[in-house]
Structure 1
Amino acid sequence: MNSIISMAGRMLVRTLMKRGINAGLNKTLGPGNAPDQMTPEDRAKRQQSAQNVKRARKGMRIARRFGRF
């Protein structure tokens, strides 16, 4: 019974962590503009930011995986 409760707790914590990380990264990036209203420099900067966010999310997943051990 105790293992079921701890499993449910881990699932809840994982979901909340995912939401929090995604919310923080989305807030950092901001909503942005439509692509047709951006200059080429803005578009390139936005693309670079999106790649950095993708790397950050991947890094957080790996860190959480190593944190379990």
Structure 2
Amino acid sequence: MSAIIYGPQGCGKTRNAEKLAKHLGLSNIIDDWMPDQELPEGTLALTSVPGIKGALDFCEVFEEVFNL
């Protein structure tokens, strides 16, 4: 499994990447991932590109991880 998390620049994706990856059970992180790049198994991809099918919204995942 891999996951893509979308959020605007400056929202905290990179700052919280390790906690997000741990929560999702992923061992690798790609920051500034672009849709034309390969997404290896077990990877959390962080992107600010909108409209990617299946991407998780950073704000929703953040609330779940930090129980907000």
TM-score by length of 2: 0.27
Q: Which has the higher contact order (CA 8 A, sep 6+)?
A: 2
Structure with a larger share of its residues in strand? 2
Calculate the TM-score normalised by the size of structure 1. Answer: 0.26
Hey, which of these two has a bigger chunk of helix by percent? Answer: 1
